[in-house]
Amino acid sequence: MTEQTFEQAQVELEQIVERLERGDVGLEELTKLWERGEELYRRCAEQLAGAQGTIEELARRLDAQQT
C-alpha cells in the first residue's frame, strides 16, 4: 500500500467515488470508504502539489562504445 503509484491511487479513488454515488453502502462501510477516499485524495494532491520535477543526465558511456 505504501508503494502505491499516483495512478493506482487515482483508480482506487475513482472506484470509491463511483460506489458512493451508486449509494448502496452501509453506514459503517461508508465511514471506511470515505476515510480511505480522503486519504487517497490527500495523497494525490500532495503528489501533484509537492513534487518538483527533476531532469537528470545519465553519464555518457563513451568508453563502452569505443572498441
Partner 1 sequence: MKVEATEVEGRKVYSVRAFNQGIAGYIEKLPTVWVEGEVTELRRQDRWASVFLTLKDPEDGACLAVQMPRGQFDGLRLELQNGERVHVYGRPEVYAQRGDFHLRALTIERYGLGAHLAALERLKQKLAAEGLFAAARKRALPRIPALIGLVTGNDAAAKRDVLSAITTRFPPAHVLVAETYVQGPRAAPAIATAIADLCARGVDVLILARGGGSFEDLLPFSDERVVRAVAECPVPVVSAVGHEQDTPLCDLAADVRASTPSVAGRLVVPDLAELRAWLDRAHAGLGRGARRIVERHGERLATAHDRLRRAPLLALERRRARLDTTRGRLLALSPRATLERGYAIVRSGDALVREPPAPGTPLAVEVAGGPFGARSE
Show contacts with partner 1 in window 3-22 (CB under 8 A).
5-7, 10, 13-14, 16-17, 19-21
Q: At which residue does the C-alpha cell 531532469 appear? A: 55
Number of amino acids touching partner 1 (CB under 8 A)? 37
Asked if 54 touches partner 1 (CB under 8 A), the answer is yes
Find the Cα–Cα–Cα–Cα dihedral 3, 4, 7, 12, rounded to 10°. Answer: 180
Cell numbers that stand for 45 in this block = 494532491
Could you give the C-alpha distances from 30 to 7, 38, 43, 62, in angstroms and in order?
Answer: 23, 12, 20, 59
Asked if 27 touches partner 1 (CB under 8 A), the answer is yes
Cβ atoms of 44 and 13 within 8 Å: the answer is yes
Measured from the CB atom, the residue of 1 and 17 that comes closer to partner 1 is 17
Residues of this chain that bind partner 1 (CB under 8 A):
5-7, 10, 13-14, 16-17, 19-21, 23, 25, 27, 30, 33-34, 37-38, 41, 44-45, 47-48, 51-58, 60-61, 64-65, 67
